[in-house]
Amino acid sequence: MISKDDLNIVPIERAFTIPANWYFSSELYQLEQLQLFSGNWIYVGHRNQLKKTSSLTLQIGKEPIIVFENKSGEIKAFINVCRHRGGPLCLRRGSKDVLQCQYHGWTYTSEGDLRGVPEFDRVELFDKSDFKLVELDVFEWSGLLFIRTQSDTFNDIKQTCAHIQSEIGSIDLSRFEFSERVSYPIHCNWKVYIDNYLEGYHIPHVHPELNKLLDYRTYRTKTAAFHSLQYSQFKEGDSIYGSGNADDQAFYYFLYPNCMLNILPSRLQVNIVEPVDEQHCIVHFDYFYDRAEYDDARILADKNYSEFVQKEDEDICEQVQKGLQSQTYHQGRFSVKQEQGVYHFQSLLKQNYSKLLSR
Ligand code: FES
Ligand SMILES: [Fe+2]
């Protein structure tokens, strides 16, 4: 499936892109689902989202997850699988402390202890303490919530978040209000979408409108251990984003393996790339705003604009997914100037696969 040579990391000047079949091999996809996603800290959502919905549910690799805030304000995360026959749980209506299975109604405390078991009176040798939910570790930074499903993680989330906070300075991500989530199913492997996010090389060709907005001369990429940053200033006087203030910067962070934080001084947009199968992913856009700066009209303009750019990215990613499966294409090369971010992501993938395969 993966040859040792393909895992070698050489300087970008001499490097090849990862092999095309890594974008459609079902064996590799299984490895990612079973081990890569469970072996990293994964972004699950923002605490402020929980003011609008009682819980967050998602899938990480093979694991369904539920995340919520209990009565004491603690964030709790569990594998979302009832110990009876595998049903999905939700918070009982109006409660912050009782999880209830949606299949036959078993209930659990917010600590994961089994409590209510309807119509089980003739069952013998049954001890509720053998049927606890599986609880997961949570890491929180400025309201952003990350969880892990295994203790041996590849990425270092604490270091990553501390580094980002030092770069964004006084921008406080915890105070932005959650607006909504918009989800886009895309016919491409999750890594195609991430590669595409990580470079501005395509902007003049795929996004001519965006190209007019960004000041390309200020466009830079920086890489760190488990994240990378692309940043650029908006041209002065732009109607949606620019205030004409030369300090207004856009920060586009990628957090390995599948999260992006697009940060402007008064707005946060989080993208999560959720794999569906080897040829499909869903990209979630979560929008957050400082409502003192963003009124309804400005929010609408921001969302419409993001969607416009997203459609262009979707289209090119779907075509690339087809292109990668051509019998004539195997690997490409990198622009040293423009594709540092892609090279960085692909190098992390290689290190991560090496770790998984050496177990
Ligand atoms: S599967 Fe949960 S109560 Fe039956
Ligand atoms: Fe793009």
**Given phi > 0 = left and psi -120 to 50 = alpha, else beta, which region is 230?**
beta
Report the separation in Å between the CA atom of 64 and the middle of ligand 1, taken as the mean of its atom positions.
15
Higher pLDDT residue, 24 or 53? Answer: 24
Identify the nearest ligand to the CA of 102 by its number.
Answer: 1
Residue nearest to atom 3 of ligand 1 (CA): 104
Report the separation in Å between the CA atom of 142 and the middle of ligand 2, taken as the mean of its atom positions.
27
**Chain region(s) in the chain for CATH 3.90.380.10:** 1-36+174-359
Q: Provide the whole-model pTM.
A: 0.95
Return the pLDDT at 236.
66
Relative orientation angle of helices 340-357 and 190-197, to the nearest 10 degrees: 140
Least confident of 34-38, 109-113, 213-217, 277-281: 213-217
Share of the chain above pLDDT 70, in %: 96
pLDDT digits (tens, 9 = 90+) for 133-189: 999 999 999 999 999 999 999 999 999 999 999 999 889 999 999 999 999 999 999
Higher pLDDT residue, 143 or 239? Answer: 143
pLDDT digits (tens, 9 = 90+) for 284-337: 999 999 999 999 999 999 999 999 999 999 999 999 999 999 999 999 999 999
- The one-character DSSP state at 18 is P
Residues with CB under 6 A from ligand 1: 82, 84-87, 101, 103-106
**Chain region(s) in the chain for CATH 2.102.10.10:** 42-152
Report the separation in Å between the CA atom of 130 and the middle of ligand 1, taken as the mean of its atom positions.
15
What dotted CATH number matches 1-36+174-359?
3.90.380.10
Alpha helices in 123-171 (DSSP H): 157-168
Give the confidence band of 244 by pLDDT, cuts at 50, 70, 90: very low
Host H or E run for residue 44: strand 42-46
Contact in structure between 268 and 261 (CB atoms under 8 Å): yes
Return the structure tokens found at 280: 């499909």
Q: Is 80 exceeded by the pLDDT of residue 111? A: yes
- The C-alpha atoms of residue 266 and residue 283 are separated, in whole angstroms, by 22
CATH architecture of 42-152: 3-layer Sandwich (2.102)
Mean predicted lDDT score pLDDT of the chain? 94
Contact in structure between 333 and 12 (CB atoms under 8 Å): no
Identify the nearest ligand to the CA of 204 by its number.
Answer: 2
Given the CA of residue 105, which atom of ligand 1 is nearest to it?
Answer: 3
User: Which residues make beta-bridge pairs with 101?
Assistant: 89
- The C-alpha atoms of residue 281 and residue 338 are separated, in whole angstroms, by 25
Identify the nearest ligand to the CA of 105 by its number.
Answer: 1
Given the CA of residue 102, which atom of ligand 1 is nearest to it?
Answer: 2
- The C-alpha atoms of residue 41 and residue 90 are separated, in whole angstroms, by 23
Report the separation in Å between the CA atom of 107 and the middle of ligand 1, taken as the mean of its atom positions.
9
Given the CA of residue 82, which atom of ligand 1 is nearest to it?
Answer: 2
Give the confidence band of 258 by pLDDT, cuts at 50, 70, 90: very high
Report the separation in Å between the CA atom of 242 and the middle of ligand 2, taken as the mean of its atom positions.
20
Return the pLDDT at 240.
60
Report the separation in Å between the CA atom of 312 and the middle of ligand 2, taken as the mean of its atom positions.
7
Given the CA of residue 104, which atom of ligand 1 is nearest to it?
Answer: 3
